[in-house]
Amino acid sequence: MTHPFRTAAVIGAGTIGLSWTALFAGHGLTVRVSDPRPDLAEAIDSALAEFTPHLAAQGVNTDGLADRVHLAADVTEAVRDADVVQENGPERVEFKKELFAQLVRETPGHALLLSSSSAIPATAFTTELEDAGRILIGHPFNPPHLLPLVEVVPGERTTEEAVQAAVDFYTAVGRSPVVERQEIPGFVGNRLQNALSRQAVYLVQQGVVTPEDLDTVVTHSLGIRWATVGPFLGAHLGGGPGGYRHITEHIGKSMQQLTLGEPSQDPEDRERVVQAVEKAYASTPYTDLAEARDRRQLAVLSALEDNRPNQHNKEN
């Protein structure tokens, strides 16, 4: 696992895989991409054209980026000389079992094998493999070439050496890896996201708020706060000089009395929420919404970089 990372294989070229491809190539890796989709070449060209300005805005040297990306005829060709493999296939245990068995057979012995799995822990698809020590989850937030977080989640048989190699790799490509020491379906990020999403659906179903107004609530309050401090530090600061202890002993008591509702799973209720979201947003082309999202996310990332806690200390 001390082998340098020069060549990456990206297996699966959907939204996540294409984003990884641009990121890896932008950081100087040779990238081989495998996906059975018939429009693979066009999809890669389009993605690189779209994502290159995003990478440049993050200070990545994008000269010759496209020259470092190569189409592979199949998985075998993609991974033959890989130092690291990033899998982005369907969220199905059986699929991942078969694929990772193939990856173990056909990759070099030093290759780090990573899965972008959104909810399935590595142990679920590696129990029958002899060489599971170099397999673990590297779960990004979409799109990974923009959002820095990567959840590094080892399986029961993943070695500490592989965990450290994953941390080193993602750090080298400009991401912010967080190691999670216990497997849990959905990991941390998606569990938090799911909790908020469920309450959001419940509030819309109950007629408390519309989808667009709920989005305004988040983007004009919690979204700004959490982009800068996160839930625990935010609560600690919210407690004033008494910190987290004060807020849990006072405001925390009233918050604990809240009964959070669960959204209805009735098809008609779900359909009403879908229609409400479509009414709010479907009239605007997807590409326009995505471009606005990415532009704003880049602005937030730039502001955070300019205002790192130790930045002013260095300047003063």
Note the pLDDT tens digit of each residue in 247-276.
888 887 677 778 899 999 999 999 999 999
Residues 58 and 194 in one domain: no
On average, the pLDDT of the chain sits at 94
Residue 280 sits in which domain range?
A: 189-228+264-309
CB 105 within 8 A of CB 133: no
Give the whole-angstrom CA distance, residue 72 versus residue 126: 25
Residue 248 forms part of a structural domain: no
Residues 40 and 172 in one domain: yes
For 213-231, the pLDDT digits (tens) are 999 999 999 999 999 999 9
- Mean pLDDT, to the nearest integer, of 178-203? 96
Give bridge partners of residue 31 from the DSSP assignment. Answer: 8, 69
Question: Dihedrals φ, ψ of 68, to 5°?
Answer: -90, 0
- pLDDT at residue 255 in the model: 76
Q: Dig out the tokens for 108 from the structure.
A: 């070099």
Residues 30 and 130 in one domain: yes
Query: Is the model's pLDDT at 107 over the cut of 90?
Result: yes
Distance of CA 12 to the CA centre of its chain: 15
- Mean pLDDT, to the nearest integer, of 40-47? 98
CB 169 within 8 A of CB 140: no
Query: Is the model's pLDDT at 308 over the cut of 90?
Result: no
The radius of gyration of the chain's CA atoms, rounded to the nearest angstrom, is 21
Q: Tokens 């605007």 correspond to what residue?
A: 284
Query: Is the model's pLDDT at 56 over the cut of 50?
Result: yes
Residues 75 and 119 in one domain: yes
Whichever domain contains 77, its CATH number is 3.40.50.720
Give the whole-angstrom CA distance, residue 115 versus residue 37: 19
Residues 162 and 193 in one domain: no
Residue 211 forms part of a structural domain: yes
Percent of the chain past pLDDT 90, that is, above it, reads 89
Residues 89 and 195 in one domain: no
- pLDDT at residue 88 in the model: 98
Give the whole-angstrom CA distance, residue 68 versus residue 24: 9
- pLDDT at residue 310 in the model: 67
Give the whole-angstrom CA distance, residue 101 versus residue 79: 13
Split into its structural domains, the chain has a count of 2
Residues 6+ apart with CB under 8 A from 236: 243, 244, 247
